[in-house]
Amino acid sequence: MPHPRATRRPDSPSLIPSIDSYSGRILQPALIESEAYRFIVEVMSEGAVVLSADAAIAYSNRSFSLMIGVPLEEITGSDMRRFVVADDLPRFNDLMFEAREHTAHGDVQLAAETALPVHLSISAFDSGFVVLVQDVSQRRQDEAERLKLIRRLMDVEESERRRVARELHDQFGQQLSALTLELATLRRGRGRRRQFSDELAPLESIAKQLGADLDLLVSRLRPPALDDLGLLPALEQYIRRWSEEVGVHAELHAKGLEAGGLSSDTETALYRIVQEALNNVVKHSQANNVAILLDQTADRVSLIIEDDGVGFNAEQRFPSHRFGVTGMRERTALLSGTFDIESSPGRGTTVAVRIPLPPGEVSHR
């Protein structure tokens, strides 16, 4: 009878052990021959594999066989690396090397009918390795669906920001301009009445300030320069205004962006990340100086934001929502990028974002 191919059996809800509970300790090679012990290993939903020192498979449970769609008799004696996709072999080798010192954890893809994402826990023993294999394809799918939902929500948010900004500019902006012109006309026509002219002066000042405040509000909602001119001019304008408003010296250094070439999604994400990071500087860092570094190459764009503020202990857990980290991290993840924060007390904070660029990416403003 042919062996079933990559068909996952239902888990027993309360008896099946979890990979996170054992981290490699469940498979004691000397006990594999024990009938009771083998039963426990065989009912695991996770794959369980014992390797020799050169990565040859000495034992595999049925779950691992089902994951890769290969009969048990063909697995035993095979090199474990045969069942890892070629692109992930360096990662697998690194995990094996790390496991000589302590239990190693990491994700690779197995070469099943289709590439199967799994999480490995590898532990060394006297003459080889124990590997626990957890199928994380459903988790990956759930994460992909979550990111798709976040993308839709962010698209709706940006669209609504753009609509509100345009309506504010078109309606209130025109009315404020008309008010300013009317006040100027009254001043010229009533110039002989000194008292009346003096009374108009504060009204003109209020109208001008309302216009400036409206421009700032529109810019924060959706900067016109981002749609009309692109990322670099929009950031230059925003950072200059932000620096003047909060009294913190900020400099933007850009390389490789003069010719554009970024998609609208990438530009929007980078702009919003800068906004949120500078917002954190005002709220938390007590910094005097901020440097924003933006660098685009053929295959990636990097954003680094450094301040000289009080910093914090990055090794400890901190409330991501308080620092806006969740939003910045999600915007980066939607573009398959990496997001990191480095900080220590008294030594400032660095936010680093790296986003890969598809070949030939162009702007779609």
Q: Is the confidence at residue 159, as pLDDT, over 80? A: no
Q: Is the confidence at residue 321, as pLDDT, over 50? A: no
Two tokens at 360? 């030939």
Is 182 a member of any domain?
A: yes
Helix axes 231-246, 194-221, angle to 10 degrees: 130
Residue with the larger pLDDT of the pair 85 and 183: 85
Residue with the larger pLDDT of the pair 247 and 165: 247
- Give tens-digit pLDDT for 34-66: 554 555 567 678 899 999 999 999 889 999 999
Average pLDDT, integer, range 96-113: 91
Other Cβ atoms less than 10 A from the Cβ of 336: the count is 10
Q: How many Cα atoms within 13 Å fall on the side-chain side of residue 35?
A: 0
- Give tens-digit pLDDT for 73-83: 999 999 999 99
Domain final position from 135, 152, 169: 135
Domain final position from 222, 250, 272: 222
Statement to judge: residues 150 and 31 lie in one domain = no
CATH of the domain at 348: 3.30.565.10
Statement to judge: residues 277 and 358 lie in one domain = yes
Nearest 5°: the CA angle 161, 162, 166 is: 115
340 within 8 A of 352, measured Cβ to Cβ: yes
Is 4 a member of any domain?
A: no
Is 13 a member of any domain?
A: no
**Host H or E run for residue 355:** strand 349-356
Domain holding 322, by residue range, is 230-365
Strands 249-255 and 289-296, how do they pair?
A: parallel
Residue with the larger pLDDT of the pair 295 and 148: 295
Partners of 342 in beta bridges: 350
- Give tens-digit pLDDT for 230-244: 899 989 988 998 999
Q: Is the confidence at residue 350, as pLDDT, over 90? A: yes
Two tokens at 251? 């400099």
- Provide the 3-class DSSP secondary structure of residue 205: helix
- Give tens-digit pLDDT for 256-277: 886 557 888 899 889 989 988 9
Other Cβ atoms less than 10 A from the Cβ of 229: the count is 15
Q: Tokens 């990956």 map to which residue?
A: 140
- Provide the 3-class DSSP secondary structure of residue 343: strand
The lowest-confidence range among 27-31, 96-100, 149-153 is 27-31
Statement to judge: residues 154 and 207 lie in one domain = yes
- Give tens-digit pLDDT for 18-33: 334 334 444 455 545 5
Statement to judge: residues 66 and 105 lie in one domain = yes
Statement to judge: residues 129 and 142 lie in one domain = no
Question: Model confidence at 199, in pLDDT bands (50, 70, 90)?
Answer: low
Please tell me what DSSP assigns to residue 246.
H
Q: Tokens 């993840």 map to which residue?
A: 333
Statement to judge: residues 157 and 77 lie in one domain = no
Two tokens at 162? 């753009």
Average pLDDT, integer, range 339-343: 92
Confidence (pLDDT) at 260: 59
Is 9 a member of any domain?
A: no
Is 265 a member of any domain?
A: yes
- The proportion of the chain whose per-residue pLDDT surpasses 90, expressed as a percent, equals 35
Q: How far is CA 18 from CA 41, 48, 67, 157, 172, in A?
A: 11, 12, 16, 40, 61
Is 202 a member of any domain?
A: yes
Domain final position from 135, 167, 184: 135
Average pLDDT, integer, range 137-142: 79
Please tell me what DSSP assigns to residue 7.
P
Q: How many domains does the chain have?
A: 3
Mean pLDDT (the chain) is: 78
Confidence (pLDDT) at 43: 65
Q: How far is CA 222 from CA 55, 88, 230, 301, 336, in A?
A: 56, 41, 12, 22, 24
3-state secondary structure 156-194: HHHHHHHHHHHHHHHHHHHHHHHHHHHHHHHHHHCCCCH
